[in-house]
Amino acid sequence: MPTRKVKRQSHVMTASEGRRLFERQARRSLNMSGEEFIAKWRAGKFNGTSDTPRVMRVAMLLPFAER
């Protein structure tokens, strides 16, 4: 009988998967490295423009970079 591959509904991310996602989003959304984003974020360089969906998309992933 042929078997049907069933996709699991949830996936537990590893710390390295999280860090890769953070890095990818920083490059894709803001054209900068994750390291560059962290430095600018901590220096308050996004003040005034910090809360745009594009910036927040990366900022919300910051906990991954801190694991």
Q: Name the residues that contact other proteins, by CB under 8 A.
A: 7-13, 18, 21, 24-25, 49-54, 56-57, 59-64
**Would you say 24 or 35 has its CB closer to other proteins?**
24
**Residues 49, 54: Cα–Cα separation, whole Å:** 10
CB of 50 to other proteins, least distance (A): 6
- Burial environment of residue 26 by CB neighbours within 10 A (0 to 12, 13 to 18, 19 or more): buried
Nearer to other proteins, 1 or 8 (CB): 8
**N-term to C-term CA, the chain:** 44
Q: Which is nearer to other proteins, 32 or 62 (CB)?
A: 62
